[in-house]
Amino acid sequence: MTIPRRLPRLPTATAAIKRSAGTLAIDLGGIGARPSTAALAAAATAAAAAGRASECQSLLLRMSRRRGASRRDIVSSLLASSPTFPQTQVFDLLIRTYTQSRKPREAFEAFRLLLDHRVPIPASASNALLAALSRAGWPHLTAEAYRLVLSSNSEVSCRRCGCSNGIGRFDG
């Protein structure tokens, strides 16, 4: 039996704290394995809680691009990752991630699922959704989203929502 010259260095406690949430999610999935949607959701929630919005958005984008992952699975795993107090920034970034990747229909479905779970939607997410739907040229879906925004008592900035008259009514 040979004795190795160097023993592998064990990570210190401070190095474990400095690791990013994405690295932790990969560790949860194991070496060479894809992390689960729940692990990615937990990492995204942790990144949002730590104020790392870009890392959270990259994890959400990774979740949305997974094969076989439905929006219902993504929303339910994000809700399960913070059961006591949902992180509104995570859901804001989820809707904005869909709209920025030019998937307004998926953003609308996630928006509707979040409203079904009575999660408060930030105004920036509502504005991004309405702007993306109006840019895509879907007036009926835009009007339905606007009605949902009004019924959920969310604030809307008229300059960004796509309404043509500036008083908060959509004329589409």
Ranges of each domain in the chain? 20-161
The predicted pLDDT at position 172 comes to 44
Tens digits of pLDDT across the chain (172 residues)? 555 555 444 343 334 344 554 555 455 555 556 788 889 999 999 998 888 999 999 999 999 888 878 889 999 999 998 877 777 889 999 999 999 988 999 999 999 999 998 888 888 889 899 999 999 998 899 999 989 988 876 656 555 445 544 455 444 4
- For the four alpha carbons of 22, 39, 43 and 57, in that order, the dihedral sign comes to positive
Helices (H), 2-122: 13-18, 21-29, 37-49, 53-64, 71-81, 88-100, 104-116
d(CA 149, CA 66): 28
The predicted pLDDT at position 68 comes to 79
DSSP 19: S
Q: How would you classify residue 137: left for phi > 0, otherwise alpha for psi between -120 and 50, otherwise beta?
A: left
The predicted pLDDT at position 19 comes to 52
Between vectors from CA 45 to CA 70 and to CA 61, what angle results, nearest 5°? 45
Retrieve residue 72's tokens.
């219902």
Q: Report CA 66 to chain centroid distance, whole Å.
A: 14
The predicted pLDDT at position 65 comes to 86
Retrieve residue 1's tokens.
């039996």
How many CB atoms lie under 10 A from the CB of residue 105?
14
The predicted pLDDT at position 2 comes to 59
Domain 20-161, CATH among 1.10.287, 1.10.10, 1.25.40, 3.30.70? 1.25.40
In angstroms, what CA-CA distances link 101 with 106, 139, 154?
10, 20, 23
Q: Is 161 helix (H, G, I), strand (E, B) or coil?
A: helix
d(CA 65, CA 75): 14
The predicted pLDDT at position 123 comes to 86
